Amino acid sequence: MKIILSLVCTVALTLTACAGTPVTYYQLPGSNYQLPTTSQRIPVQIKVVLAERLYQGNLVYQDTPTTLQFAQTHLWADDLSNEIKLVLANELNKKSVRYWFTPENKTKATLTVYIQSFQGSYDGYININGYSSWQGATENNKNFNIHIPQQGNGYSNMVNALAQGLSNVAQTIAPAD
């Protein structure tokens, strides 16, 4: 009888532990790739390289000047580097008439975007910083440090602000046509 009672308690505790806080998954607004309206552009592949800590799938929040928190129940729905690549391709295609930015590897020209920070912050702002590098063209390489206010509290508002920040990144790294 003690063994059965012990087994029932163990199963009940295990099920209770599994029924904790639900996980919420986020997607960046604008991460559905849209083909440009004209194909008379020079194709450029976009690659995104993230800082190692950003490959974990967690949303990141900077809670002091020197510490980061990785959300445990607020996660990216898809690969973050891919979502950023799609948003940047869409944003750059809006800003360029000369180039067609594509997430696919069908081109000789490549724009690589290195993201070192992509997070919300205790000061009410989101931070995105890094740099872009054009394959074979050093004059178009650019640093970016985006620091824009988050409208409202919560992870959903942080994700929306990060998407807006990517629009600002695209503005910063867009080539002169």
| DSSP H/E element including 173 | helix 155-173
So where are the chain's domains? Answer: 24-173
pLDDT 10s digit of each residue in the chain, 177 long?
445 544 444 444 444 445 578 999 999 999 999 888 776 888 899 999 999 999 999 999 999 999 999 999 999 999 999 999 999 999 999 988 888 899 887 777 899 999 999 999 999 999 999 999 988 666 678 999 999 999 999 999 999 999 999 999 999 999 877
Q: Which CATH class is domain 24-173?
A: alpha beta
Question: In angstroms, what CA-CA distances link 3 with 11, 15, 17?
Answer: 12, 18, 21
